[in-house]
Structure 1
Amino acid sequence: MNLGQLSINRPILAMVLSIVLLIVGAIAYTTLPVAEYPEVVPPTVVVTAQYPGASAQTISDTVAAPIEQQINGVEDMLYLYSQATSNGQLTITVTFKLGTDLDKAQVLVQNRVAIAQPQLPEEVQRNGVVTRKNSPDILMVVFMLSPDDSLDQLYISNYALLQIRDQLLRLNGIGDIQIFGARDYSMRLWLDPDKIATLGMTASDVLAAIRAQNLQITGGQLASPPISDRAFQPNLTFTGRLRDVSQFEDIVVKAGEGGRTVRLRDVARIELGALDYSTNSFMLRKTAVAMLVTQRPGSNALATAKGISDTMAKLKASFPKGLDYNIGYNPTEFIAQSIHELIKTIYEAMLLVVIVVLVFLQGWRPA
């Protein structure tokens, strides 16, 4: 007995099977991953490092080469390529086979990078070598801006990094969030070469003095054991790392004869600024900060995008005056519209089938 005869001879069983299939399809609809396009781009892991003041050739020889030698041949890797720029930035992109678990790939690359780190220059090790996942699925781009220009890009960037990015990363389905046009707070020093040369110093001497006096240290305790005749054991606290421009200006870079000291303000101009000014983002002809949100593989794009929109609307209530956001890119709108048209087509097809059956079989039972 084929399926057609079974449906005609045993209509109740056929209806039960139809209902079961309908329920299974409804459950599958809510659990299947939804995206604009299928996964056709191989996943990648990006390794970044900074070597301030070094040329592209120096970075390639002293930083890129040791890391590439260790990463090459990592499990499921297809190929890798690196890019060194004249501003001291190194980017190594490792491409893996389609379907590779990005979390596993990141760990494998990180382990290889750790092996290469002892061979890197001290300055590179101090700045850190970052290994992160780079999903090709751009889910959304959220722009932070000040419509009335009352807030500068430095403030907007740090607010997005400290107050918004962490909140969005907690949402289910988000792989990573990259900030373009970032302006991380940094203490910038502009050295006067003539004054430094007059004092017989170099930029390295000034840098060494800053590192020696800008430390996070513990003070310990007074009257701690084995001293036992004290009623209290107070903890000692120190200033630790310097916090503002005036504290950096008071750093002693050289002690001369007769008790004369040379402070940092005597040989440099200090200001609180941004770590990097090389990238900029714009939205509605306004300077902005772009947060590029990538989707975690296998997640539901519609649910994730809705979570981002709801979270941003909730966070907007606590925004400082003059700050706003704009969702500049959201491909899930096309996905939602496509699903709406698909559901509409299914209902139309069901209606046409019922009409055709009624017209030709002249009865509701077969319909």
Structure 2
Amino acid sequence: MSLSEFSIKSPYAVIALTLLVAALGLFAFFRTPTDLFPDTAPPQVVVVTVWPGADADDIADKVTQVIEKELNTLGGLKRITSTSRDEVSSINAEFYYSKNLGEAVVDVQNVVSRVRADLPAGIMEPRIYRISDATRPLLTLALSPKPKSHRSLEEIRLLAENTIQDLFLNVEGVADVDVFGAHKPEVRIWVDRNKLAAHHLQLGAVLAALDRNNISLPAGVVYSPKHEYLMKVSGEFENLQMIRDVPIVWQNTGMLRLRDIARVELGHSETRSIYHGNGKRAIAMNILRPEGGDTVAAIRNVKKMLPQLKAKYPDIDFEITDDQQPIIDLNVNGMRTSLIQAIILTVAVIFLFLADMRTSLIVGISIPSAFLFSLVVLWFSPYTLNMVTLSGLIIAVGMVVDASIVVLENVFRHYQNDPEKDGRRAAMVGAREVSLAITAGMLTTVVVLIPVMFSGGYTQQVMRPLNMMISSTLFASLIAALSIVPLMAAKLLARGEYKRNFIERIFTVTDYGVEKLSHIYLGILKAALKVRWLVLILAVAFLVVTMKKVKPLLGGELMPPMDTGIVNITFETPSDFTPQQVEEVLDR
């Protein structure tokens, strides 16, 4: 039993399946994560090593080259780029797309563990970062004190790194929060050399005293017949006064404390970078999503929480200085509108040429059915609803109606030639006759698309979701043409002869135009068949001239430029400029 015969004999099963696909498709349309583009960043892992006090030459020779040499032994490695500057080594290992990012991180961690003994003893523990599209911030917040506020940027940074960061991490869709912008609080102890010498002490004694008194360690377990107690040595500093009261040494005059030989104050670490938000100094917070997370949903959740933060901290100004949502909404909503317009225009053109509302209705139902099925496929795939996947749907609009029109035209032809005017038989025979042809036509298109989905590299990352949407839409259109179309045609034709209404009679004038166009086409075809070899030679010559002359004029690029409405200005200052001097240049 063919698919068309099954659909006509079991109409309720087809209707139930169609409604199920429609419900799942609508659910997928609203629940599929939305983004601007698919994830195309190659797997990258960055190793950052800090060696306090070392110059760039020592960093390159004793840190960067040692790690690079071992990284080159990894499989799937594409390239390594590194930067060595005073105190810091940064190595970026880029892998091929076939390498899983998680595996790449584990491999790099193993490499760092193997060479750890060969690195200088004074380095800080190397840090490993995974780089993907998820590391691009969803939005950037600038936190600054409001006018007449008593908070300093140091206090705001302390809040941002603790309470505010924890609040954002509890927001659904947020994976990490990065705080930057200098003004990092630190306790500064200014030791008076003369007082230190007067008490016959060395600086090491002060450092040792601070270490002894700023600890929090487990001290064992005390057992009793009925209970056991976990013991803990708790001595962490809670405020500046506790630091000032740290005992250094017992002398004849009494206990010498830190306040007797040093000045303790709260300041901020050395300024190595400065952040300005909307023209003023601020503390910045980058909000990051998890890999594969919903970008737009996460941004909306963060924005919903901002009023609560503003109410909790009325003396802090929270401003969004960078936001992905406007450009995503603009482009994705534009693509959605284009898709709806394309469907409407396609149905209108079909009605214009066929001048039959019944035919247009049947074809019009098959289009959204195919699209809803492809949205279900997208929902179960690892991809998002973005410009690439929506482009695939728009490209497929003109293709999804081909099979339905062929089936419908053949069904109507059988019905008109049947003296008994049996619509049910006409639908079965008409669909069965062309089923093989339209299946072959669909497969020839899909077969061309599938190899591109496995081409590898950047092309695969972009073209796989595009071709997946086109292929799934074409497959769904074939199923709709062999099931929904014959079923609806059989039901409509069972009503008997159909008289065209006034609107349909108006558009029958297009029949005359189509008929004349067909006569012109047949005349050209007959003439071409008489000189077929000349036509083939001219076609080949035209192809060669096009490839030789036209293609160089068109040029080529990886991706077309897109006007995002964002202007980036980059300027360089002399290398000996301090951050404050750079800020003066920025304020000009």
Normalising by structure 1, report the TM-score. Answer: 0.75
2 CA distance for matches of 1:358 and 1:232? Answer: 87
Note if 1:247 corresponds to 2:242: yes
1 CA distance for matches of 2:217 and 2:262? Answer: 26
1:273 corresponds to: 267
SS across alignment from 1:132:
strand
The percentage of counterpart residues that share the same residue type is: 25
Note if 1:328 corresponds to 2:321: yes
Is the Cα–Cα contact under 8 Å of residues 244 and 258 in structure 2 kept in the other structure? yes
Taking the TM superposition and a 5 Å limit, the aligned residue runs for 1:235-314 are 239-253=234-248, 258=252, 262-314=256-308
Q: 1:20 to 1:101 in 2, by over 3 A?
A: same
1:355 corresponds to: 348
SS across alignment from 2:357:
coil
User: Does 98-107 or 321-330 show the bigger shift?
Assistant: 98-107
SS across alignment from 2:243:
helix
Q: 1:268 to 1:32 in 2, by over 3 A?
A: same
Q: 1:353 to 1:308 in 2, by over 3 A?
A: same
2:406 corresponds to: none
2 CA distance for matches of 1:248 and 1:103? Answer: 43
Q: 1:247 to 1:45 in 2, by over 3 A?
A: same
1 CA distance for matches of 2:123 and 2:216? Answer: 20
Structure 2 counterpart of 1:133, from 130, 134, 145: 130
Q: CA offsets per residue over residues 136-167 of structure 1, 9 Å max, x none?
A: 43322122222326121112112122123233
2 CA distance for matches of 1:84 and 1:149? Answer: 43
User: Does 129-138 or 199-208 show the bigger shift?
Assistant: 199-208
User: Does 212-221 or 345-354 show the bigger shift?
Assistant: 212-221
User: Does 168-177 or 338-347 show the bigger shift?
Assistant: 168-177
- The structure whose residues are more often helix, as a share, is 2
One-letter amino acid of the structure 2 residue matched with residue 132 of structure 1: Y
Deviation at 1:263, TM superposition (A): 3.8
Aligned length: 350
1:142 corresponds to: 141
1:98 corresponds to: 97
One-letter amino acid of the structure 2 residue matched with residue 246 of structure 1: Q
1:178 corresponds to: 178
Q: CA offsets per residue over residues 290-338 of structure 1, 9 Å max, x none?
A: 1123343333322222222223334433x22301312211122111122
Deviation at 1:176, TM superposition (A): 3.3
Q: Where in structure 1 are there 5+ consecutive unaligned residues?
A: none
- Quote the RMSD (CA, aligned, Å): 4.1
Q: 1:183 to 1:259 in 2, by over 3 A?
A: same
2 CA distance for matches of 1:78 and 1:203? Answer: 50
Q: CA offsets per residue over residues 152-206 of structure 1, 9 Å max, x none?
A: 1112112122123233334454443321215444222234455556766654453
1 CA distance for matches of 2:90 and 2:262? Answer: 32
Note if 1:339 corresponds to 2:336: no
Higher RCO (C-alpha under 8 Å, 6+ residues apart): 1
1 CA distance for matches of 2:161 and 2:35? Answer: 27
2:112 corresponds to: 113
Deviation at 1:365, TM superposition (A): 0.3
1 CA distance for matches of 2:206 and 2:67? Answer: 30
Is the Cα–Cα contact under 8 Å of residues 171 and 308 in structure 1 kept in the other structure? yes
2 CA distance for matches of 1:55 and 1:41? Answer: 32
2 CA distance for matches of 1:27 and 1:163? Answer: 37
Radius of gyration: which is bigger?
2
One-letter amino acid of the structure 2 residue matched with residue 354 of structure 1: V
Deviation at 1:345, TM superposition (A): 2.0
